[in-house]
């Protein structure tokens, strides 16, 4: 892993250098155009009530990938705007502090998804995702994701509810952290 300065920003009167941890590009991920055995898009709660034809149409827009344990699926600040669905396996969403300390946000497992922020706004990913075990994912392009949201508004509502939940959790964390010093 290499550390490269990415940008300079100013906080009060202090100049800070943000460090980007650069991982070796994943060359072991295998992409397949055929659906892996024993997995189905219908098992993903976000897509659960879509009609069979809709799921069939979506599979034509996905690419399937498999990852070994400890492989990086996405890199924070990557240009990819894909949405990822985990069909099988587990992954960890993490970032690294300026000192290199790993900060785990959450683990995702089969049936869950990640990458929705980049897929929605076209900005770089906000975190790294690394597999914890053998993992199969499907990737949907930003265009395919937007089409899905417009065609199936129930999916858009689920995404919005999930994001609202995250905002509420983060609001509580900010409140806790901002009052921490006052309590000590």
Torsions phi, psi of 83, nearest 5?
A: -100, 135
Please report, for the chain, the start and end positions of each structural domain, with discontinuous segments joined by +.
Answer: 26-178
Q: What is the pLDDT of residues 97-127, one digit of tens each?
A: 889 898 999 899 999 999 999 999 999 999 9
Which range has the worst mean pLDDT, 1-5, 16-20, 125-129, 137-141?
A: 16-20
CA distance 57 to 160: 23
Spell out the residues 6+ positions from residue 29 whose beta carbon is closer than 8 angstroms to its own.
Answer: 65, 66, 67, 71, 73
Looking at CATH, the fold of the domain delimited by 26-178 is given as: Jelly Rolls (2.60.120)
Name the 3-class secondary structure at 128: strand
Enumerate the H helices of 32-152 as residue ranges.
Answer: 52-59, 116-121, 142-151
Above 90 in pLDDT, residue 154? yes
Contact between 83 and 155 under an 8 Å Cβ cutoff? The reply is no
pTM: 0.75
Q: Which pLDDT does position 133 carry in this prediction?
A: 97
Question: What does the mean pLDDT of the chain come to?
Answer: 80
Q: What is the pLDDT of residues 15-37, one digit of tens each?
A: 333 333 333 344 445 544 445 55
Q: What do you get for the CA distance between the two ends of the chain, in Å?
A: 37
CA distance 89 to 136: 6
């Amino acid at each position: 892993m290499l550390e490269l300065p990415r940008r300079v920003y100013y906080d009060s009167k202090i100049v800070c250098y943000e460090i980007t941890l650069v991982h070796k590009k994943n060359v072991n991920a295998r992409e397949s155009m055929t659906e892996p055995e024993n997995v189905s898009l219908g098992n993903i709660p976000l897509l659960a009530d879509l009609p069979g034809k809709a799921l069939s149409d979506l599979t034509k827009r996905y690419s399937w990938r498999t990852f070994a344990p400890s492989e990086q699926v996405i890199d924070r600040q990557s240009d990819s705007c894909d949405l990822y669905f985990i069909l099988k396996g587990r992954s960890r969403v993490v970032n690294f502090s300026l000192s290199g300390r790993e900060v785990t946000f959450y683990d995702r497992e089969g049936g869950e998804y990640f990458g929705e922020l980049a897929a929605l706004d076209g900005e770089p990913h906000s975190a790294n995702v690394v597999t914890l075990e053998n993992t199969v994912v499907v990737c949907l392009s930003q265009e395919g994701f937007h089409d899905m949201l417009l065609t199936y508004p129930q999916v858009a509502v689920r995404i919005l509810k999930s994001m609202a939940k995250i905002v509420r959790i983060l609001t509580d964390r900010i409140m806790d952290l901002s009052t921490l010093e006052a309590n000590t």
